[in-house]
Structure 1
């Protein structure tokens, strides 16, 4: 029996509320009302860290039945470092099982929200070091094969990320004086659920309401973020209240505490844009409560409307900080932008190297070559089309079969799902014959990497690629290019060049093909004026001032001369 693993003399930490209990199974049933047997077993496994399943290595993303032996032999980990990576892999495996259980709509329903509110270590932080430095380094020997970097260099970057807390930081707010000198990294770990089971059920309903009818992985991530932000808001407002007082929303009537929330978030080093999103999601949650659960809120519709009015006011007050933050981000991004010469050099190298990489994969398939091939194809198409990476991630094998072709062999591929599909419809890729062949080759060789049943062209271990930037950075460095690269930097470079060198009508066509409008390009992708441009504008203003002054002086001279002539003695 599972509960026999938990001795009365061996207290365990509850994964839900972070409390320590001698009889954790009883606590889960009585306090958190966990009645689903499968969920109950998984939460106990999460608490005991006992799991016999095969695990994915967080460092190289391969599946192993004995991950501990792989980490010790391949990555040279031992002691506490090995325990950190191993516990991270176990936790992610169990949370994935909880997510699959939730999507199966079990009966009785699940009581916890651990899988919804989890915060993963972002893969791109790991991939920048592991996938680029370890698997595709820029150092090449005379035979053309890369020389791997040392393992300590990789672990110096990966270990801090893996040792970070896996749960959202949803701590109750404290006065500013007590938070002096603190940061989000130094704050203690706090519960991942609200103390009230009723409000937890509303949070679950809010998550399900935020999902579309046919959700993608990105849709589920967005819904999780909305639910997490709503929980942050509730945790802030509930500080100082007992569990008995948190059965309804009456604690939200503290408008003084409500007005302090943006300041508390800013003090915890959240960016103004993140604060804006949190305020919007908190408003969405209150609106959801008002529309569907008004009878259990404990507040009237008018009182909830006043709370919404206050949240909208805080969002407006945050607008100035958001604009200033965006300009700072643009100035910082301008230092990392790649020039058109660099982008042209990359697509020439991709065009030259891709056939050889594809042949090497068919001869001796390795994960390194597969990453490089996907990075080359995605980077090449991004430079030519300016699309977001989600467009390439969502290209399916069926899209290639249904693509339009002309007698010259040119191909038009339509992609249905992407970020702005509601506003711009399907994204399109205009491909020459060789470019269409590259996509078909990727779809063909995916069977060598577990992608026989995966419908997507860009896949990894049979699953759709979610973070394509890692492949792009790998191909960029193997091609011998310097500096950092990302799809957002490519899109920004394209938007800037279109603004400088194209007419308004042509620029509008380019923006529409990139699935955004000109206002979006101005807000996110065009650079702020540099020093020479600002002084050029200053010279224009000075020229206009001087021209106006000269015009006024010229018009006043005839009047003064006529006045002098009328006052002369001869005329008198």
Structure 2
């Protein structure tokens, strides 16, 4: 356990984000499962010689599948275990007496197992892609969703102002706003979930009177390490919704800087479920997840935007003018698609 604690520190690294810590915890869980499997029924565990068992490694993918794991998840288990084995080989514990040839055989077995399931992984990914396409949300439906959100959000804010302790009503508002953001830009739920009051205040402080809207830079999200802040451009009316909620929020006195929070003051983990509920109340077709909506918006961006915009949608920090232009492009695209359907 002391050795694994050192490996966890290695995974977490310096200046880790909350998401980084969560990822490290997931990887440690998979490594723990691997070690428990390798050590089962064996003695002398302090020598780590139980690691040199290639046959158990080769049988591991089948056991994971029997546990109900998807083939793509099995691949992740093998990759994370391979990373641990590399760390173990380079910096073995002091009590280890595992021969070098034993570690080589286990490493070879892991690579062999990963190679053998690669075809199944690809076929599974194709099947998942086909299923996603069947749940595709069209541009006209996205446009209807945005129109409904513009109608619902002010009403929910008015009701929340009168009944600020109504948790059900509050979650309806959160789901509706998440749906609006996803349908508008294709942002993941984490962008809304991790938005902070400080970031909203920064957007307000940085607003110029001659600009067409407000830009919120959300620093904590899934791809922040690669692409930086996720940018959210809102018109004065839309930003006014957030300001109204912030007024209600201040009266609730939450012990968190998150804009949207659960009853315990933590992140709203069921945001996708709340968004689905909002979708159903708007009587829109199907029951898409926020990921389905993100896929639809990303496809629209790819098909209708300039290559530079589509390819670097997240990879660059855009100005207010650039974000406003992107917003107009998306709105025109939705309108053109709706006109095509009507014709």
User: How far off its partner does 1:254 sit?
Assistant: 1.7
Among 341, 357, 367, which residue is 2:167 paired with?
Answer: 367
- Hey, what's the Cα distance between the residues in 2 that align with 1:395 and 1:431? 14
> Does the Cα contact within 8 Å between 2:228 and 2:315 map onto a contact in 1?
no
* Contact kept in structure 2, 1:377 and 1:438, CA below 8 Å: no
Structure-2 separation of matches of 1:272 and 1:391: 28
Greater percentage in helix: 2
C-alpha displacement of 1:384: 1.4
Residue 3 of structure 2 is aligned to residue 225 of structure 1: no
1:414 corresponds to 2:217: yes
Report the Cα distance in structure 1 between the residues aligned to 2:101 and 2:244, rounded to whole angstroms.
Answer: 60
The Cα offsets for residues 493-515 of structure 1, whole Å up to 9 and x where unpaired, read as 11222344445344324464799
Answer whether contact 1:238 1:246 (CA < 8 A) is retained: yes
Q: d(CA) in 1 for partners of 2:192 and 2:100? A: 45
Residue 272 of structure 2 contacts residue 289 of structure 2 at CA under 8 Å; is this kept in 1? yes
CA distance in 1, matches of 2:22, 2:90: 24
Deviations 1:322-346 (A, max 9, x none): 1111111111222222222221111
3-state SS of 2:47 partner: coil
| Residues 309 and 444 (structure 1), Cα distance of their counterparts in 2 relative to 1, 3 Å cut | farther
The equivalent residue for 2:39 is 238
CA RMSD of aligned residues (A): 2.5
Say which SS state the counterpart of residue 460 (structure 1) adopts.
Answer: coil
Aligned pair partner of 2:5 in 204, 227, 235: 204
Question: 1:431 maps to which residue?
Answer: 234
Looking at structure 1, the residues matched to 201 and 13 of structure 2 have their Cα atoms a distance apart, in angstroms, of 27
Confirm whether residue 377 of structure 1 aligns to residue 170 of structure 2: no
Task: Count the aligned residue pairs.
Answer: 313
CA distance in 1 between partners of 2:154 and 2:87 (Å): 53
Computing the radius of gyration from Cα coordinates, the structure with the larger value is 1
Matches within 5 A, 1:535-546: none
SS of match in other structure, 2:216: strand
Alignment correspondent of 1:272: 71
Structure-to-structure mapping, 1:141-152, within 5 angstroms: none
Match among 470, 475, 478 for residue 281 of structure 2:
478
Q: Which residue of 248, 253, 258 maps to 1:445?
A: 248
Partner of 2:48: 249
Does the 8 A contact of 2:172 with 2:278 survive in 1?
yes
Higher mean C-alpha deviation, range 292-301 or range 484-493: 292-301
Distance 1:312 1:444, change over 3 A: farther
**Residue 489 of structure 1, CA deviation:** 0.3
Deviates more, 1:499-508 or 1:340-349: 499-508
Large movers: runs of 4+ above 6 Å: none
Aligned to 1:354: 153
State whether residues 178 and 275 of structure 2, in contact with CA within 8 Å, keep that contact through their aligned partners in structure 1.
Answer: yes
Which residue in 2 is equivalent to 1:537?
Answer: none
- Hey, what's the Cα distance between the residues in 2 that align with 1:294 and 1:479? 59
> Do structure 1's residue 459 and structure 2's residue 261 form an aligned pair?
yes
Q: TM-score, normalised by structure 2?
A: 0.82
CA contact (8 A) 2:175 2:278 kept: yes
Q: Which runs of 5+ in 1 are unaligned?
A: 1-199, 516-572
Report SS of the residue matched to 2:270. Answer: coil
Q: Tell me, yes or no, if the aligned pair for 1:289 and 1:297 is still in contact at 8 Å.
A: no
Q: Distance in 1 between matches of 2:249 and 2:305?
A: 39
1:273-292 to structure 2, matched below 5 A, reads: 273-292=72-91
Q: 2:95 aligns with which of 281, 292, 296?
A: 296
Question: Cα–Cα, structure 1 residues 272 and 514, in superposed 2: closer, same or farther, change >3 Å?
Answer: farther
Query: Is the counterpart of residue 327 in structure 1 residue 129 in structure 2?
Result: no
Please give the alpha-carbon distance, in whole angstroms, between the structure 2 residues aligned to 1:434 and 1:513. 26
Structure possessing the higher relative contact order (Cα contacts under 8 Å, 6 or more residues apart): 2
* TM-score, normalised with respect to structure 1: 0.51
Q: State the Cα distance separating 1:269 from its structure 2 match.
A: 3.2
CA distance in 1, matches of 2:222, 2:163: 36
* Whole-angstrom distance in 1 between the partners of 2:299 and 2:316: 15
Give the secondary structure class of the aligned counterpart of 1:464: coil
Call closer, same or farther: CA 1:512–1:214 in 2, change over 3 Å: closer
Task: Please give the secondary structure, in 2, of the residue aligned with 1:430.
Answer: strand
For structure 2, the 5+ residue unaligned runs are 319-343
Counterpart check, 1:400 vs 2:203: no
Q: 1:323 to 1:375 in 2, by over 3 A?
A: same
1:492 aligns with 2:295: yes
Alpha carbons 1:376, 1:475 under 8 Å: kept? yes
